[in-house]
């Protein structure tokens, strides 16, 4: 079974510890537990969504905001630049 680590209990992403293929089961480890099925191929070290996410939702890794969902993302989908808009170094996106 594939493994993915959740680094903070607030995170809505997990980082794959093994490269995975669509349809493979993945065990969540670290600050979360459970299983999910990959909906897409996901390279080693990339992020996978752990809960269905609506557009505009803040994406958390290490308990920190790393971006916002730019489209709906389902649990098990690869999370990367194609569906996450970076919030870092974007003064126009920071809440004041």
Q: Tens digit of pLDDT for each residue in 64-79?
A: 999 999 999 999 999 9
Confidence of residue 45 (pLDDT cuts 50, 70, 90): very high
93: in domain: no
Confidence of residue 87 (pLDDT cuts 50, 70, 90): confident
Proportion of the chain above pLDDT 70, given as a percent:
91
91: in domain: no
Residue 69 belongs to domain with CATH number: 2.30.130.110
Tell me whether strands 2-6 and 13-16 are parallel, antiparallel or unpaired.
antiparallel
Q: Which long-range contacts (CB under 8 A, 24 or more apart) does 86-89 make?
A: 87/58
Q: Domain range holding 18?
A: 2-86
Question: Is the pLDDT assigned to residue 96 strictly greater than 50?
Answer: no
């Amino acid at each position: 079974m594939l493994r993915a680590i959740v680094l903070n209990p607030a995170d809505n992403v997990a980082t794959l510890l093994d490269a995975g293929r669509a349809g493979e089961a993945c065990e969540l480890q670290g600050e979360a537990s459970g299983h999910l099925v990959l909906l897409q191929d996901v390279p080693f070290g990339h992020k996978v969504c752990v809960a269905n996410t609506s557009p505009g939702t803040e994406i958390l890794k290490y308990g920190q905001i790393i971006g916002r969902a730019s489209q709906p993302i389902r649990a098990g989908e690869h999370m990367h630049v194609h569906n996450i808009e970076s919030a870092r170094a974007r003064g126009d996106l920071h809440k004041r």
